[in-house]
Chain A
Amino acid sequence: MIITDEQKTKLIKNNLVYMENIRVKFGRVVALDGVDFTVGYNEVVGLLGDNGAGKTTLIKALNGYNQISSGNIYFDGRHADFSSPKDARSAGIETAYQDLALVNIMSIARNFFMGRELRKGFAFFKFLDKRQMNKIASRSLKEVGLKNIRAMHETVNFLSGGERQAIAIGRANYFGAKLLILDEPTAALSVTETEWVLQLVKEAKEGGLSVILISHNAYEVYDVSDRFVVLQHGKTYANIKKEDTNPEELIEVIAGRLEK
């Protein structure tokens, strides 16, 4: 598809995320081969694909964890090739990875504020404001329904999968993120916890956030998503609005048996 400059400017303006022709290479392996991807304002996008399709690579390119080999990324109307996750976070992208979300042996409060620690003091004598961090973390986590925690100095090791996701979402809420990326949030969660996390995604959207929901389970993410993007072998395979499809069909698309 060829688009004019004028159309492109409009797309950048109307979308929170606009990624065009993204290529990512790891040595000789081409992980992403010219992917186009957009996320609208206040939109929940289900990013689907089989294992190894390039879903996580795509969001790691967006949030500065990995560098892209070529292509362009625009975030919130501005050109944004984030050179580190720190830049992406300060621009308003909060990511909860499948395996990299939290440091298990550290406390909930320290995880909540990691990389954005609150400090008090002056010049060289700036010390962590632990009391304030505990207070805010506790309050923000209650808001996302994390109630069973005894104290903020508990380590993350004791938390369930759903509670871990809730920390990431609570963190996004508190720090005023514009985009929340959840990487396989419901993998290995119990039924009730899956419902809870998906409910939090809905609430995040109601609160004005955009969400990228990575999954390979079309059934689970169908309800909360507005649109689905399917990747296959590092390429965009399908881009379907919710009203134009159903979960059964999506599974066929993810498996590559159906083209849309």
Chain B
Amino acid sequence: MENKRKLQTFFDRILRIKEIGSLSGLIVVMIIFTLLSDKFMTWDNFIGIFTTTSELGIIAVGVAMLMIAGEFDLSVGSVFAVAPMLGALLSNSGVPIFIAFLIGLVFAGSIGFLNGIIVMKAKITSFIATLGTMMLFRGLLLAVSGGFPIDFLGANTDFLNALGGKLFLGIRASGIWFIAATILFSVILNNTKFGNHAFAVGGNAGTAKAVGVNVFKVKMINFVICSVMAGLAGFTMFGRFHSIDPTAGMQLELEAIAAAVIGGTLLTGGYGSIVGAFMGAFLIGVLRSGLILAGAPSYWYQGFIGVFLVLSVILNTKIRKVVAG
């Protein structure tokens, strides 16, 4: 009897870990791919996965923050290209790259601000508002670049390397940014007043308002965070290639949402985890790499992510029903 109760509390504790769904999924998938290919569990492959994961993951961290606060951002894929494109154009015309980088991030932030203002003031759903800005800024990118990639023309590439270059053991700077962003926003979300308010406005905006939370401010800040992170992610890719393609980041918004959702974040807000988004992004990277190494044709990749997305949401929903009702 006593043992049974202890076991129950133990299971309860385990289930309460918000990332348990994505963590178990990650372990299962990694075991399968390790069995399928002996090249999967190697340092080089791991680092390769982590590099592509980082760029997606930095976006997913911001997207998860915004989704927890109850809103959506489909424009992150466009912002991912807009911010470094602006940075590249400015630095090529003589602005120091560091300043160009900051201006690029500020511009990304103002797109987030614009998204927020449209959603909050015109009172339309963020799905539509950000679908609009996604198309608007993608159009702008194509118009400005004429459809061609823009290369970094400066001589000094130190700063770009700090954004996305190789550091040691093949690890890229973007990986460090990704880990840092995950830790930073995880702490903010779980351990600060602002984080508590983000959960509150996503969980029930009316209640949040009734207890004195400034719903407008909290949502606006999260819109800006989401966009700035997308811009930062774009810069890490710019740092990797020293060039930016106007079509970069297309469909990345959907992968970022998928990463957040696989990581346990609720589509309707009020519940979620940044570490979960980290693992969701990593899982997507593992699926991509694992399928290639297992010899599956590359078209299968999206199909698998789709299947995996649905399965993981079913699992996450079941767990959430048990622990959070």
Contacts and interface: CB of A to CB of B under 8 A. Distances in A.
A155 B195 CA distance: 17
Contact of B270 (A105, A114, A128): A105
Contacts of B196: 110, 114, 117, 128
A114 B192 contact: no
Given A114-B196, A127-B191, A89 B211 contact: yes
A86 interface: yes
Interface string A113-133: 011110100000011101000
A95 B210 contact: yes
Contacts of A41: none
Contacts of A99: 206
A103 B203 contact: yes
B199 A103 contact: yes
27 contacts: A65-B209, A85-B212, A88-B212, A89-B211, A89-B212, A99-B206, A100-B206, A100-B209, A100-B210, A103-B199, A103-B203, A103-B204, A103-B207, A103-B208, A104-B203, A104-B204, A104-B325, A110-B196, A110-B199, A110-B200, A115-B208, A116-B212, A117-B196, A127-B192, A128-B196, A157-B324, A158-B325
A115 to B, nearest CB: 4
B213 interface: yes
Nearest to A159: B325
A199 to B, nearest CB: 25
Interface of A: 65, 84-90, 95, 97, 99-106, 110, 114-117, 119, 126-128, 130, 153, 155-158
Contacts of B190: 128
B193 interface: yes
Nearest to A90: B212
A128 B204 contact: no
A85 B209 contact: yes
Interface string B282-325: 00000000000000000000000000000000000000000111
Contacts of B16: 153
B107 interface: no
B290 to A, nearest CB: 34
Nearest to A171: B211
A88 B209 CA distance: 12
Contacts of B206: 99-100
Interface string B197-238: 101100110111111111000000000000000000000000
Chain B binding surface SS class:
helix
A53 B214 CA distance: 29
Given A65-B210, A85-B211, A119-B193, 13 more contacts: A100-B206, A104-B203, A104-B204, A106-B200, A110-B199, A110-B200, A114-B208, A115-B212, A127-B191, A128-B192, A130-B191, A157-B324, A157-B325
A197 B212 CA distance: 24
Contact of B193 (A86, A90, A100, A117): A117
B265 to A, nearest CB: 12
Interface of B: 16, 187, 190-193, 195-197, 199-200, 203-204, 206-214, 266, 270-271, 323-325
Contacts of A103: 199-200, 203-204, 207-208, 270
A158 B321 CA distance: 10
Contacts of B192: 119, 126-128
B324 A155 contact: yes
B314 to A, nearest CB: 18
A85 B200 contact: no
B191 A128 contact: yes
A98 B212 CA distance: 17
A104 B199 CA distance: 11
B203 to A, nearest CB: 4
A57 to B, nearest CB: 14
B201 to A, nearest CB: 9
Contacts of B211: 85, 89, 114-116
B219 to A, nearest CB: 15
A105 B200 CA distance: 9
A112 to B, nearest CB: 10
B194 to A, nearest CB: 10
B206 to A, nearest CB: 5
A122 to B, nearest CB: 14
Contacts of B324: 105, 155, 157
A199 B222 CA distance: 43
Contacts of B271: 105
A176 to B, nearest CB: 16
Contacts of A130: 191
Nearest to A65: B210
Nearest to A133: B196
Contact of A100 (B191, B195, B199, B207): B207
Q: Which residue of B187, B196, B207, B271 has the most chain A CB atoms within 10 A of its CB atom?
A: B207
A84 B214 CA distance: 9
A184 to B, nearest CB: 15
Given A126-B192, A158-B325, A106 B199 contact: yes
B325 A105 contact: yes
A37 B110 CA distance: 46
A115 B211 CA distance: 6
Contact of B204 (A85, A100, A116): A100
A115 B324 CA distance: 21
Contacts of B210: 65, 85, 95, 97, 100-101
